[in-house]
Amino acid sequence: MTIMIVVTALASVVSLGAPQAWVAEWANVTASVIDLVLILWVLVLVPSHGIVGADSFLIIDPFGVWVLVCLGVVYLAATVYARGYLRGQNRSTRSLRHFYALFACFALVMILTPIQNNPGLYWIAIDLTTLVSALLVGLEPHRRATEAAWKYLVLVAVGLSLALIGTVLFYFAGTFISGQSYPMTWQSFAKIAPRADPSLLLVAFLLVLVGYGTKVGLAPMHTWLPDAHSEGPTPVSAMLSGGLLNCAMLGIVRYLGIMRTTIVGNYANTALVVLGAASVVVAALFITRQRSIKRLAAYSSIEHMGIIALGFGFGGVLGTVGALYQMLNHSLTKSAVFFGAGNSIEAFGSRQIAGIRRVADFFPVMGATWLAAAVAITGAPPFGLFLSELTIARGGLLGPNAWAVGVMGVALIVIFVGFMGHFRRMYFTRARRSQVEQARRESLPITSVAPMVVAVTAVLVLGVWWPHPLWVFFTQVASAVGGR
């Protein structure tokens, strides 16, 4: 972990002082490759009970490492994609240096988040991700991006304030058992929870749920997400959806695992299930009426984080395993969807769905890959999201919140019809002369297409073959946080 942190920090420093833009590009690509290799190595070696170190300040456990796997995959894909995407915008060397320095810094603070064993330091790490990512969103040279960054900062700051109060209440509940001062770790919270005042713990959990749920983008605290994810640079949109949202969900699930050791654990489960179901319904309603292609992808992120919340809220082996599998499948697929959206916006000169036409005619490889990613993101077979969502539904039917499975099923049908309806118009509606002329002038570099092809291929493989070692790994996490 130390090597990973040092390499990513070094990439940020090198990017900031790079004499040429290509130095900053390769610094990020190199760091992302090293990070992913080290993360996969840790994934193989991490014991089921985890490792606590640095005087109990850091923890490396299966759940945290899995969040890092999703992050590492997206970071590598986004850095490769960013080379062609940013060069096509003819940005200055100074602008590129700032982007890549902040981009590596964003990856760094996200790497630090899942390994925090102190809930207070975890809160600080999440707050740092907000500050860095808001700067990245605001880098786009138009007023909408600045407004989106400020909205993101204000709303998430309010949410994280509630999460901080909830964290303090959790610690306060333990003072009646362990004294006025005791180590603030996830393990100490889990130890005192069964003997603490259940009402106080439930209030603390609800505050944490709403607070970190704001960062995750769960409805009704989701209003910042469509703006920030759609207005920022496309590589940043991929990192926000595929990496950061998982980091925030991790905090909710860690607290949920603690709550399940108390007599009010079922109330905590139900609260998360309600927010998850609400998120899927809200996403379904907005997806059908979208006009902006990147906002369409952003509302899809709300949908999928709602499904992940449902999986963890259902609990058990199936619910938890499905949610973990959904994390990776969503990170891969959503990256491809955003990359395709970014390519189309640059090629057709429009962010509106109405301004993008006959994509496959002008860009056959990218068009076919983007369409496959769109089918995959709706949860259709034979892609990985279908398998993970089916597993979550099976887990939900075995528990007390089976009603949410019906809600999820109906919402997913609406989302499929709405999402594919938008893509039908972009692929099969006749293009205007101006659109034809604009698209013919554009060419896509291989770095703008290759990450999409790799991501969609991986999701297809994960849809037809669920590796058994992954199932075994997921059950280790389920035994720690899965509840029943």
298-339 residue pLDDT tens: 999 999 999 999 999 999 999 999 999 999 999 999 999 999
Please state, rounded to an integer, the average pLDDT across all residues of the chain.
92
Residue 322 lies in a domain: yes
Residue 21 lies in a domain: no
Residue 105 lies in a domain: no
Please determine, for residue 396, whether its predicted confidence score (pLDDT) is greater than 90: yes
Q: Which residues contact 179 (CB under 8 A, 6 or more apart)?
A: none
User: Which residues constitute the domain of residue 421?
Assistant: 264-484
Residue 473 lies in a domain: yes
Q: What is the mean pLDDT of residues 19-31?
A: 92
308 burial level (CB within 10 Å; 0-12, 13-18, 19+): buried
Number of domains within the chain: 1
Residue 2 lies in a domain: no
Query: Which has the minimum average pLDDT: 139-153, 168-182, 238-252, 353-367?
Result: 139-153
255-298 residue pLDDT tens: 999 999 999 999 999 999 999 999 999 999 999 999 999 999 99
For 31, 50, 235, 350, 413, the CA distances from 86, given in Å and listed in that order, are 18, 40, 9, 17, 36
More confidently predicted of 49 and 254: 254
Residue 368 lies in a domain: yes
What 3-state class would DSSP assign to 116? strand
**How far apart (Å, rounded) are the C-alpha atoms in residues 386 and 408?**
13
Residue 484 lies in a domain: yes
Alpha helix ranges (H) inside 315-402: 316-348, 359-362, 364-377, 384-397
433-478 residue pLDDT tens: 666 666 555 678 899 999 999 999 999 999 999 999 999 999 989 9
Give the closest residue to 228 by CA, choosing from 246, 211, 241, 213.
Answer: 241
Residue 229 lies in a domain: no
**Residue 37: pLDDT band by 50, 70, 90 thresholds?**
very high
